[in-house]
């Protein structure tokens, strides 16, 4: 089922040869521009109109009433409640350990620079609710924001046609996390709402300082439009899994993991990089067997047979490492001999899952790690969501008279070299008699 790419003996740049989903955010940006601008100009009225047009839902109240959030939590299935609480506890432990401490550097007697870490004031968190609904994404967005100390958190998720509200499990997850500002808004209109706010309906929505969370191409396009007006975490594309495996890997595990990400979206990418033609053939057989038994057969089949998915044959693990570094996968599994040693040599991946007992599914829910990760090769230069996403480094520069005098001549020399004499004058004036 998977396409086959043979890189054995190749010296070409793997980036030219590896599979990718064809996503053009710039085209989508122009398509969402009218919606985003309408929300900026007309607020809640434009949000309602967009929800009716795109989601086919006439939302009665954009902000979800508190009693609906409480009802969803009260009616939550016990097994799901237990799983969410465990997911929250593990994520909170990991993300609280990511908090940074202020540091002060003494450069001279009376001259210091203090690096402070301050949380973003208000954030808007987008939780998808289209092909699938993701209460786990509530956890992954809210927990690091709370760990960072963000004081104001708003969550938005698409309204469901049968209720006009976000999915009940999403609402319940918000309740378990103590978040009661939730909006029944999805798509580009949700991003515009968070960025611009609205006041033409009570209760209104205050604009946020930062927007995070994954979404479809329309959400991504709107985030690109709002970048600068607000901060964003990333432009998320379709999900990806890459697996670097040798002959020691179990083809059942590999096939199951490839399928697990393919069920997200027809554009999801599943890539196996292997040194073993025997494993590749066994995985193909297992994929065919397991896909036939899975729920979302059509979606999975389209993803696995698409140009974004493939089995890539390599000479050895060394070449495999070069290939996965070039690919920069959102999720990378290492299923080789001595997987930890191999994993520690990887430079480019959103998250690395080490060994046969660390599947991506674990990271999606209960590993304690964050599943909001860079896609489309952006892991070569970008990190996934973490507590640090919601922190800003602010420097405090404090010099005394003597400490400034000690370095004054250097400031004057550099300002003269840059033909900015007023910069030097601003120092010299302090020492003029």
Residues in the annotated binding site for substrate: 239, 261, 264, 331, 364, 418, 423
User: CA-to-CA distance for 252 and 271, rounded, in angstroms?
Assistant: 15
User: CA-to-CA distance for 52 and 37, rounded, in angstroms?
Assistant: 17
Provide the token pair at 302. 């389209």
Contact assessment for residue 306 and residue 23, using Cβ atoms and an 8 Å cutoff: no
User: CA-to-CA distance for 170 and 244, rounded, in angstroms?
Assistant: 34
List the one residue out of 299, 302, 306 whose CA is nearest residue 271: 306
The DSSP element (H or E) to which 330 belongs, if any, is strand 329-335
Antiparallel, parallel or unpaired: β 210-212 and 122-126: parallel
User: CA-to-CA distance for 205 and 221, rounded, in angstroms?
Assistant: 21
Q: 66: number of CA atoms within 13 Å, CB side?
A: 4
User: CA-to-CA distance for 193 and 370, rounded, in angstroms?
Assistant: 25
| Residue 234, preceding peptide bond in cis (omega within 30° of 0) | no
Q: Which residues are catalytic?
A: 330-331
Name, in order, each residue with C-beta under 8 angstroms of 420's C-beta and a sequence gap of 6 or more: none
């Amino acid at each position: 089922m998977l396409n086959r790419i043979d890189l054995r003996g190749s010296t070409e740049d793997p980036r030219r040869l590896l599979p990718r989903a064809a996503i053009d955010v710039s085209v989508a940006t122009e398509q969402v521009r009218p919606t985003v601008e309408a929300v900026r100009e007309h607020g809640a009225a434009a949000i309602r109109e967009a929800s009716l047009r795109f989601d086919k839902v006439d939302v009665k109240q954009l902000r979800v009433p508190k009693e609906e959030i409480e009802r969803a939590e009260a009616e939550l299935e016990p097994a799901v409640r237990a799983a969410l609480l465990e997911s929250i506890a593990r994520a909170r432990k990991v993300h609280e350990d990511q908090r940074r401490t202020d540091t002060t550097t003494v450069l001279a007697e009376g001259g210091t620079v203090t690096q402070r870490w301050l949380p973003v004031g208000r954030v808007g968190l987008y939780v998808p609710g289209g092909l699938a609904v993701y209460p786990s994404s509530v956890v992954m967005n809210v927990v690091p924001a709370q760990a960072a100390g963000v004081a104001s958190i708003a969550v938005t998720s698409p309204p469901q046609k049968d209720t006009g509200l976000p999915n009940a499990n999403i609402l319940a997850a918000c309740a378990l996390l103590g978040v009661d500002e939730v909006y029944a808004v999805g798509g580009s209109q949700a991003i515009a709402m968070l960025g611009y706010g609205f006041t033409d309906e009570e209760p209104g929505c205050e604009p946020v300082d930062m927007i995070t969370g994954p979404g479809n191409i329309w959400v991504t396009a709107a985030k690109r439009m709002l970048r600068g007006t607000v901060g964003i975490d990333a432009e998320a594309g379709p999900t990806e899994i890459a697996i670097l495996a040798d002959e020691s890997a179990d083809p059942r595990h590999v096939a199951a993991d490839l399928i697990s990400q393919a069920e997200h979206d027809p554009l999801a990418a599943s890539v196996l990089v292997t040194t073993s033609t025997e494993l590749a053939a066994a995985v193909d057989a297992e994929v065919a067997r397991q896909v036939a038994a899975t729920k979302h057969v059509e979606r999975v089949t389209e993803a696995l047979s698409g140009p974004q998915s493939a089995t890539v044959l390599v000479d050895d693990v060394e070449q495999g490492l070069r290939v996965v570094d070039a690919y920069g996968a959102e999720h990378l599994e290492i299923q080789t001999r001595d997987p930890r040693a191999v994993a520690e040599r990887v430079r480019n991946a959103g998250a690395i899952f080490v060994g046969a007992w660390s599947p991506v599914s674990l990271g999606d829910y209960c590993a304690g790690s964050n599943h909001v990760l860079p896609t489309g090769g952006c892991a070569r230069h970008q990190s996934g969501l973490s507590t640090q996403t919601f922190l800003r480094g602010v420097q405090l520069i404090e010099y005394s008279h003597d400490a400034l005098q000690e370095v004054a001549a250097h400031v004057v020399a550099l300002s003269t070299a840059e033909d900015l004499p007023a910069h030097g004058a601003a120092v010299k004036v302090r020492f003029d008699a």
